[in-house]
Amino acid sequence: MLKQIEGSFAPPGGGNYAYRDMAGTVIREGILPGQVKVLFMLSESGQVLDTRLVSSQGQDVVSQACVDSIRGQNFGKVPEEVKAQGMIFGINFIFPMMRTR
């Protein structure tokens, strides 16, 4: 499941993203360190039925990329022992502090 989510995660701008400010100037911004928490609910067949952003690290475009990496996925049939514990799962996307030299 984690490999599938990791494979579909696309950080905005490849890890940096750009936007235009009110004056039309393109602003580039790196992903800030922090954590994005997302909950998702699966059907018995493993299809993601719902996603919910629990917490953000402060950048909406990054949070949306995290939610989008889960939305619409199918992880395959859910084992009975997993079903017994519930069909709502959580994942933390962790963005560490990048050190520069």
Asked whether residue 30 is assigned to any structural domain, the reply reads yes
Domain range for 37: 2-95
Let me know if residue 100 belongs to a domain.
no
Residues of the chain by 3-state class (helix, strand, coil), percent to 5? 25, 35, 40
Q: Tell me if 101 is assigned to some domain.
A: no
Q: What is the CATH number of the domain that holds 9?
A: 3.30.1150
Q: Indicate if the pLDDT at residue 18 is higher than 60.
A: no
Mean of the per-residue pLDDT values of the chain: 84
Is residue 50 situated within a structural domain?
A: yes
Structural domain count of the chain: 1
Report field, pTM of the whole predicted structure over 0.85? no
> pLDDT tens digit string along 19-68?
556 666 655 677 888 999 999 999 999 999 999 999 999 988 889 989 99
Q: Residue 54 domain-assigned?
A: yes
How much of the chain, in percent, has pLDDT values that exceed 70? 77
